[in-house]
Every structure is written in C-alpha cells, then in structure tokens.
Amino acid sequence: MKKHHNNPDSCTACTVCIANCPVTAATRKFRGPKMVGPTLERMRLSQDDIEPSLEYCSNCKNCDMSCPSGVPISTLNMLARAKYFKNRKRSLRDWILSHGEKMAKLSAATPGMANFGMKMSRGILKKIGISDKAPLPAYASKSFSKLFKNLKQTSYPDKVVFYPGCFINYNDPQVGMDFVAVMQANKLEVIVEEGFVCCGSPLVVNGFLDEAEENAKQNVQILKKWTDKGYPIITCCTSCGLMLKQEYQELFHIEGVAEYAKHLYDADEFLLDLHDQGRLNTNFGTLNEKYMYHAPCHLRAQGMGLPGVELLALIPGLDVQDADAGCCGISGNYGFKDDKYDISMEIGSGLFKTIKESGRDTVVSECGTCRLQIGHGANVKTLHPLTLVRKSYEAYHK
Amino acid sequence: MREYDIVVIGGGLAGLMAAAAATKRGKKVTLLSLGSGTLTIGGGIVDVMGYLEGGIPAATPSAGLLQVGAGHPYKKIGRPAIEESIRFFKEICEQEGYSYIGNLDKTQWIPTAAGTLKPTCLVPRTMDTTELKKADKVTVLGFDALKDFYPSLIAKNFKKIPAFAQKEYEVVMIDPKLSEGRDVTALDVARWLDTEEGLASCIEKMRNVIDSGSVVIIPPILGTRPSYAVKEKLEKALGCHFVETASVPPSITGLRLRTMLVRYLKKNGVRIVEQAIVAKSIVEDGKCVAVITEGVDRERTYYAKSFILANGGFYGGGLLAEPGKVIEPIFNLPVEAPTDHELWANYSLFSSEAQPFAKLGLDVDEKMRPLDANGKVLLNNVFVAGRNLRGYDFSFEKSGNGVAIASGYQAAMSV
C-alpha cells in the first residue's frame, strides 16, 4: 500500500482527517480535508467544479498522516488547485512566493541591497498580499554554493551528494556548511551538483504545477544519475526531501523517481543508519545544553519517526525535549500570505505556548520555514540538529 | 543495529494499551502506526460486553464475560487479566487527569444522539448519568446549525424508553454563531469551548435558556482536550449537570482518549513512528526477528525481541479479504474462513445474529500467540491484540474497546 494511488474512492468519509487538520481547527472558512479533497474530487473527475475554500489547504499533510485508508488527501487538493489555475490568471503575490529561487538569483548579485530593499518595500509587499508581519527570510550575504566552492574538503573514497534546496542555499547556508563538516567528520566527501533546481514545493502549493514538473524532470535526471553510480543523496530540508521522493511520485509521471528514492536520505536518518552499521563517528563532545525540539509535519509524513531526536540523544549532556505540539502553521509560504497570516499564527499558537512555557530559549528543527515561524511566534532562537552535531564533534577536540 | 524490546504494530486502542502496559513493565517500545486509528471514529467509551448471542442484553459486563463462547478472545484472556487490564486503563486515565467511571459489575446505559440508550462499561465523567437518572425534568440542549444532534428527536424517543418515560423534557437551542464557512459538527462546538472567549460566550447564551439545577443532555462538546476543565467551569457557572451523548464521527470522546494515551506513551519514552506501513516480517526458527515497513522511498527494518500485532481487522488493514479467503499480510498467519464467501455475511437487516465476517480473524493461545489449525503456536514472540482476533463481532455485542484493552494488555504482559 504505497501512497501514490490518488483514488478518492478509498475514502470512507470517516472524518478522522477533519479532526487532525490544523487549518480546519484554526478557521471555519476551510470546509475541511475530507470535503475539499476526496469528496469533491469525485465531482471534479466529471466536471470543472470550483470549491473556493480549496485555497485554505496548506499542504501540511496531517490529513494524509491521519487517514486510515491511505488516501493522499493533500495531494488531491494540490492537483485540484493546479487544475483550477490552468486557465486562470495568477496573482503577483503567488508568483513571487512560488519563485523564491528566481527571486534569490536576481538578488544574489547584491543580497545586502536586496535585504535593504525588502525591508523598505514591506509596505509594497503588503499591497500585493504578502503580510507585513510574516517572518520573511533574509538573503544570506553569500549563498551556500559560493561558500561551498571556496571550501577545501578532505577527499575520501566514500562520497555523498547533497541536495541543499533553496532555503539552505540562499537564506541559511550555515546549515549546509554544518552538514558538510559533519560528513567530513565521518570521512565522507560531499558533492554538490550545480544543476539542481528548486524541488518545486513552493510552486506546487500555489498551483504552478507545470513549472514544478519542469523542475522535477531536471532534478530527477540528476538524482538518478548519481544514485545509478551508487552515491546516496542527502537533504537537510524535510520539505525538499518529501517532494523529491514522495510528492513527485504522487503528482507526476516521471520515470526513475522510485529508483533514486531508495537512496535519498534525510541527513539525520543517514547518520543514524551509519550508526546502525557501526560507521558513525561517535566522538561526541559533551554539550551541557537544553533545547526544545519541533518535528516538522513534512518529516512526520515520511514514515521514519523522528531521526533528529534519536540522533541528538547520542550526544552526551544534551537535553532535547520534543515539544510535540503539532503544526507550526507556516507550511512553506502559506503563512507569508496576508490573508493566511492570522490562520498560520493561530495554528502555531499551541506550539508557541508549549515552547514559551518550557523556558528554553532555543528550538531545534529540521525545516527552515518551521524555524522562521517558531522564531517569530515564540520569540526564541532556532537551529538545525546538524548544527548541534557539528558543535559536539568540535567540543570533543577542545 | 538499533533493537527494541518490543515493536507494537498498530496505533489504535489495542496498540496504545499494549505499548502502555509494556512501558509500565520497563520495556523499551517502538510503536509503528499508520493513520490515527479508529478511536476518533468509534468513540471514547469502553464497551466490554453489551449484548449476548440472540441480541439479549448482558445483565452486567461481568455476567456477559461468563457467557461468551469458547472461541471468544475474552475466554483466552481470562477474567483476572481482563480485570487487571480495566484497572490499568483506569489508572492511566486517573493519572492523566481524565478519569473514567464504571466497573465490570454494572452496565451503564448511556444516551445516544438518536435518543436511544446503549449499554457500555466505562465512560468519561462527561457521560455520567447519575443525575440524569434521578431528575424528574430534563433539558435537552441543541446548537443552531449543528448537524447530527436534534434535541426534539432525543426528547421524543426518550419518552418511549420505560425508565425515561415519566420524565418531563424541555428542548432548548442556543446559537454558537459558527455559521460562517462549513457545516457545523460537534468538533466545531467543542473547539469553540476550548477557547476562553468561546466558553464565556457559551455560558452567557446557556444562562438565558437553562435554569440553575437542571440536568442537561448535550452533544459531546465539552472541549477537545483530555481534561474536565470545560465541564467543571460550565457546571460551576450555571449550577447544572451536563451529560454528553454518544454521537457520530468525528468522535470527540475518542479524540480526547487518543490524545491522552499518546501523550502518556510519549512521556514514558515510547518511540512512535507515524506513516509506518508494515508490509512483511523476517522470521527465523519460529521467531520473528524484525518487521519491515514499505515507504514510498524504501523499506525500513525494525528489530525487536518481541512483536505485538495490533493493526486492526478488515478496516485497519490487519486482515485482507479476497474471494474465498482471508489474508494476514505481515506474517501470513492462517485465518480460517468459509471458502464460499457468500457465507461471510448475514444478509438480514437489523438481525439478532452477529455478522460471520466480523468474527473472522486470528486464533491465539491464552498468551495471545498465533495458532495454526491444530492449536500449535506458530510464532513464539509474536502476540496478537485487537480486532484481528477471531471469535467476536464487536459491533453486535458491543465489546470493541473492551477487547482492545484486555487483549493489548494481555499481549504486553505475555511478552
């Protein structure tokens, strides 16, 4: 029962997805995953049926996760959204939010200017429908690919291919650099392929399915090339990972995804697998520190548990507590939208409260946009698990 | 290799209880779940034994236990373990601040949203009928726009029940002003009461239509969280007694119970893997070494010393029906079933007999280990719990959550 059979008739209308949908809990404007997904999909199969509340689905995948019958509800919603926009004009707002990679490339020449410009233009962005309160990410002064090119790695016979994704590449390159350092500490050399493009997740959620498919085709070809040669592919972003291995299979018909997906790993899971094989460098230095942890929905959806929590448990002294308070609400660029910002903050309110009540000032999470939202909503610092792994390796040698 | 003491397959009530009992024994547990189980569909009340064969009500759950046939899971588990499991369940509820009332020696007849009574054993305090039974006058309170709860239907049908016929019923409505957007369900109203503003507004609206001292029948709306805070605040503010009815999905009482049990497991260090599609197993010399999940990406192997198989029946995917045969897909355990599948169903509507298909499942010994047709144990370290067991029709006899709790507990204690 693999999850890429988009059959609405598998839905028995049991309503479990409604009880688990964070958007449904936050707003009555959304008619809920069951109705908007499988129920209306049966109508859409025969006619051009328009459901206005479809726009409220954030593609967080909690419906898919709760479904006892294996219906990929959120994917049905994304396909319906693409169909809806097939012959309709898109807003400038949705174009901008979907094309983070293009925007970043435009800004790459002068990220400082771009950040300054973005601050100045929040009023303008508000006019086109991007919330002036939302935690839009700043561009890093140097992209990951630039930093990586200037990095001297030790060469090892065992190599891994890194898929950085847009957020790490343009906004949070330090996570990528921490990843490389951790791989090097495990006697692995990192390959970064220039030809990778945005995984397509931000495009899919705004209905730019054709463009997402173009990106997918390019990524699939490269990913397949490397896994055919026997190299594992690793991501540090759980939404990229989910898109590359699962959503490509649910949304498109591209040959080769199932083959490379066997060798596509989340970084934390990859390190745990090394540990299982007795290959992990366990020279962990003690970190007497306390953190909260937030599990991104797109990690939970991947059926591998919480590898970050298990990995960090190997570090002596480290105290990591799982907040276990559900979706943070951001869902990629959902929470950036002016008309969704309040919903997004309402969804995350339980998590923010849990974090604040813990008294811990830093939250660990794999997903970049979850980290933005948590920093914004709970007023705390955030970091990726691998940053702590690197720190622990460095502490060992001190 | 990471190895756990116990891998529990299934995140429904049987799996959750098995994991709870196992951690209580100090075992290191991984729970593999797919979907969020049927608690949120079926409900959070614990039926143990409501109806005997022929549709005759059991005098008490206890008496019902004595009258089940030889093939029934309760017969395998035995009375002492059933009692212990119920005690253990109530202990967890108490400890988590969401206690359940009831015991095996008394059937609790609780009101449903259809205005009927159904027999059960344990209920949350929001469904306590003590005051309802004593009252001469009962208020039935509905919410404008709320589907699936029609107070006048309830009042009308209660008049037909001998024990409730003498009471006087008053039907009142309030408007939660939740009309924007989608249809209103009990879940929407419960979420409204989760918020302080919603609760305050609800109290004001209720004050206008119900008198202090009333006994009030309501849909299951007293908050979505496993806590009695909403009930207590409402009752204190209005001086009334509220009684939630059993109702249709999504089940609020089931949602509360599931939230509470999952929280309990996580607190006790159970590793929970969601979206885990367990597809096969590795068996060597009559022992299971590992089970394997089949993701969209790849297989993952979970090693353990023992395994508890609690992945449901036909609905949950623990049993698969094919023409003329039933398959247990993970271990390929034998399921005895008539080869003529026409015989699986009882075709008469509202029959006083159980459904044959509902009784199909795995045969086990008293330790819940799977047996072959000759009664020989097939796997020494695999223990079965919940709906995949043979010999009972939970829907007909009203025993589903009772069997889940007792068999989950017994499986964990047998490890």
* B250/A contact by beta carbon, under 8 A: yes
User: CB–CB of B147/B126 below 8 Å?
Assistant: no
In chain A, pLDDT over 90 holds for what percent of residues?
86
Q: How far apart are CA A237 and CA A313, in angstroms?
A: 20
Is A74 exposed, middle or buried (CB count within 10 Å of its CB: 0-12, 13-18, 19+)?
Answer: buried
User: Is the Cβ pair A14, B249 closer than 8 Å?
Assistant: yes
* B356/A contact by beta carbon, under 8 A: no
Residue A312 β-bridge partners: none
User: Is the Cβ pair B40, A16 closer than 8 Å?
Assistant: yes
User: Is the Cβ pair A68, B36 closer than 8 Å?
Assistant: yes
* Non-local CB neighbours of A330 within 8 Å, separated by 6+ positions: A135, A336, A344, A348, A369, A370, A372, A373
**Distance between terminal CA atoms of chain B?**
21
User: CB–CB of B227/B98 below 8 Å?
Assistant: yes
Q: How far apart are CA B251 and CA B38, in angstroms?
A: 9
Q: How far apart are CA A151 and CA A149, in angstroms?
A: 5
Question: A27, A29, A304, A320: which to substitute to probe chain B, counting the most B Cβ within 10 Å?
Answer: A304
User: Is the Cβ pair B298, A261 closer than 8 Å?
Assistant: yes
Q: Where are the beta strands (DSSP E) in B18-81?
A: 29-32
Distances (CA, A) of A147 to A78, A190, A196: 35, 13, 16
User: Is the Cβ pair A305, B272 closer than 8 Å?
Assistant: yes
Q: In chain A, whose CA is at the least distance from the CA of B313?
A: A68
Angle between helices B252-267 and B13-24 (to 10 degrees): 30
* B182/A contact by beta carbon, under 8 A: yes
Q: In chain A, whose CA is at the least distance from the CA of B276?
A: A303
Report chain B residues whose CB lies below 8 A from the CB of A321. Answer: none
Is B210 exposed, middle or buried (CB count within 10 Å of its CB: 0-12, 13-18, 19+)?
Answer: buried
Q: How far apart are CA A58 and CA A206, in angstroms?
A: 10
Of the candidates B239, B57, B256, the one whose C-alpha atom is nearest the C-alpha of residue B131 is B239
Question: Which of the four pLDDT bands, split at 50, 70 and 90, describes residue A3?
Answer: low
* B35/A contact by beta carbon, under 8 A: yes
Domain ranges of chain B: 3-100+256-414, 113-246
pTM of the model: 0.96
Report chain B residues whose CB lies below 8 A from the CB of A302. Answer: 275, 295, 297
What letter represents residue B358's amino acid? A
Question: A10, A28, A40: which to substitute to probe chain B, counting the most B Cβ within 10 Å?
Answer: A28
User: CB–CB of B404/B386 below 8 Å?
Assistant: yes
Provide the residue-wise pLDDT of chain B in tens; the chain has 415 residues: 788 999 999 999 999 999 999 999 999 999 999 998 889 998 899 999 999 989 999 999 999 999 999 999 999 999 999 999 999 999 999 999 999 999 999 999 999 999 999 999 999 999 999 999 999 999 999 999 998 899 999 999 999 999 999 999 999 999 999 877 888 999 999 999 999 999 999 999 999 999 999 999 999 999 999 999 999 999 999 999 999 999 999 999 999 999 999 999 999 999 999 999 999 999 999 999 999 999 999 999 999 999 999 999 999 999 999 999 999 999 999 999 999 989 999 999 888 899 999 999 999 999 999 999 999 999 999 999 999 999 999 999 999 999 999 999 999 999 9
Q: How far apart are CA A356 and CA A363, in angstroms?
A: 10
Predicted confidence at residue B192, as pLDDT, reads 96
* B268/A contact by beta carbon, under 8 A: no
Residue B82 β-bridge partners: none
* B259/A contact by beta carbon, under 8 A: no
Q: Locate B387 and state its tokens.
A: 């709906």
User: Is the Cβ pair A301, B274 closer than 8 Å?
Assistant: yes
Q: In chain B, whose CA is at the least distance from the CA of A301?
A: B275
Report chain A residues whose CB lies below 8 A from the CB of B298. Answer: 261-263
pLDDT at A333 over 80: yes
SS3 per residue for chain A? CCCCCCCHHHCCCCCHHHHHCHHHHHCCCCCCHHHHHHHHHHHHCCCCCCCHHHHHCCCCCHHHHHCCCCCCHHHHHHHHHHHHHCCCCCCHHHHHHHCHHHHHHHHHCCHHHHHHHHHHCHHHHHHCCECCCCCCCCCCCCCHHHHHHCCCCCCCCCEEEEECHHHHHHHCHHHHHHHHHHHHHCCCEEEECCCCCCCCHHHHCCCCHHHHHHHHHHHHHHHHHHHHCCCCEEECCHHHHHHHHHHHHHHCCCCCHHHHHCCEEEHHHHHHHHHHCCCCCCCCCCCCCEEEECCCHHHHCCCCCCHHHHHHCCCCCCEEEECCCCCCCCCCCHHHECCCHHHHHHHHHHHHHHHHHHCCCEEECCCHHHHHHHHHHHCCEEECHHHHHHHHHHHHHC
Task: Dump pLDDT digits (tens) for A300-312.
Answer: 999 999 999 999 9
Report chain A residues whose CB lies below 8 A from the CB of B35. Answer: 16, 65-70
**Distance between terminal CA atoms of chain A?**
49
Q: In chain A, whose CA is at the least distance from the CA of B274?
A: A303
Of the candidates A237, A226, A290, the one whose C-alpha atom is nearest the C-alpha of residue A260 is A226
Predicted confidence at residue A2, as pLDDT, reads 53
How far is the alpha carbon of A349 from chain B, nearest alpha carbon, in Å?
12
Q: How far apart are CA A103 and CA A93, in angstroms?
A: 12
Predicted confidence at residue A1, as pLDDT, reads 40
Task: Dump pLDDT digits (tens) for A11-41.
Answer: 999 999 999 999 999 999 999 999 999 999 8
Task: Dump pLDDT digits (tens) for A192-251.
Answer: 999 999 999 999 999 999 999 999 999 999 999 999 999 999 999 999 999 999 999 999
How far is the alpha carbon of B256 from chain A, nearest alpha carbon, in Å?
11
CATH fold of the domain at B3-100+256-414: FAD/NAD(P)-binding domain (3.50.50)
* Non-local CB neighbours of A1 within 8 Å, separated by 6+ positions: A70, B277, B279, B294, B317
* B321/A contact by beta carbon, under 8 A: no
Domains, chain A, ordered by start: 8-85 (1.10.1060.10), 92-127 (no CATH), 144-276 (3.40.50), 290-397 (3.40.50)
